[in-house]
Amino acid sequence: MLQIRRASTAEFAAVRDFYYAVIDEMKDAEFKPGWERDVYPSQDFLRASLDKGELYVGEIKGHLAAAMVVNHEYNESYDARRGLSTRRTTSFSSSTP
C-alpha cells in the first residue's frame, strides 16, 4: 500500500533522482509532461518546496514510488499548454514511474 508522508530536507537527493528517473522514463511516452532535468522541476523549486514543507513522497514497502508538491500554486505555462484555467481550482499532482 502506498504510504504518503511529508519529505524531509535530508531527502533532497533521493527526490531529485526520483524526478530524473521519471523524466527519463517519459522521454518516449505518448503523452509527455514537458519536464526536463533541472529545468522543471528545477532543483531550486524542489529545495524550496522541501523547505516550505510542501513536498510529499509516497513509499511502497520503504521504496520511493511517488513525489508531489502540494500547495495552491501552479506554473502558468500549464494554462497555455492545455488551454485550461486552473486559477479557481486546487491542483494535486503526483509522479510515479
Please write the tens of the pLDDT for every residue from 47-57: 999 999 999 99
Q: What is the DSSP string of 9-50?
A: GGGHHHHHHHHHHHHHHGGG-SS----BTTTBT-HHHHHHHH
Look over the chain and give the mean of its residue pLDDT values, rounded to a whole number: 84
Instruction: For residue range 19-50, list pLDDT tens digits in order.
Output: 999 999 998 888 877 888 999 899 999 999 99
Confidence of residue 76 (pLDDT cuts 50, 70, 90): confident
pLDDT at position 73, please? 83
Pairing, β 55-60 against β 63-69: antiparallel
Q: Flag whether pLDDT at 85 surpasses 60.
A: no
Domain-wise residue ranges, the chain: 3-28+35-82
pLDDT at position 18, please? 96
CATH number for 3-28+35-82: choose from 3.90.470.10, 3.40.630.30, 3.90.25.10, 3.40.47.10: 3.40.630.30
Question: Does 38 or 76 have the greater pLDDT score?
Answer: 38
Where b means 16+ CB within 10 Å and e means fewer, 21-35 reads ebbeebeeeeeeeee
Q: Please, what is the Cα angle at 80 between 78 and 86, to 5 degrees?
A: 50
